[in-house]
């Protein structure tokens, strides 16, 4: 890139390119959902006994908690027996391989 001063002198700066790609540990769909949520795990290490997913109301109440034991890369985990939830916005926290991801989900 070229930078020109008022006195017409110029210099070239180095151009550095990089790509920002967030590393998501799980993909959640469909969102919004009606009854069933599917999680696609994005990790090369299998989940252990401490890896789990939690569902919260917007007031911070824990509504449900599920283990992810044995889930690993590109594994689809269907959550089709969720507790009754009114239509609205909820927070899902996924704890997997020492990482935490928070996802806003919408129940229709």
Copy the structure tokens of residue 42.
């994005």
**Confidence tier at 17 by pLDDT (50, 70, 90):** confident
Q: Residue 34 in contact with residue 79, Cβ under 8 Å?
A: no
Residue 8 located in a structural domain: no
Domain count, the chain: 1
32 inside domain: yes
H or E element in which residue 26 lies: strand 26-29
**Do 25 and 99 touch, CB atoms closer than 8 A?**
yes
User: What pLDDT, on the 0 to 100 scale, is given for residue 71?
Assistant: 78
Count how many residues are written for the chain.
Answer: 108
Rounded to whole angstroms, the Cα distance separating 3 from 60 reads 51
Does residue 7 belong to any structural domain of this protein? no
Q: How confident is the model at residue 41 (pLDDT cuts 50, 70, 90)?
A: confident
pLDDT confidence of residue 22 = 62
Residue 96 has pLDDT above 80, yes or no: yes
Residue 75 structural domain: 23-107
């Amino acid at each position: 890139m070229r930078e020109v001063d008022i006195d017409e002198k110029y210099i070239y700066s180095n151009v550095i390119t990089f790509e920002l790609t967030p590393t998501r540990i799980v993909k959640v769909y469909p969102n919004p959902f009606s009854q069933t949520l599917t999680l696609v795990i994005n990790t090369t290490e299998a989940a252990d006994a401490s890896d789990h997913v939690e569902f919260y109301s917007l007031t911070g109440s824990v509504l449900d908690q599920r283990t992810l034991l044995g889930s690993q890369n590109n594994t689809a985990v269907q959550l089709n027996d969720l507790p009754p939830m009114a239509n609205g916005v909820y927070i899902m926290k996924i704890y997997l391989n020492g990482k935490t991801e928070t996802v806003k989900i919408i129940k229709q």
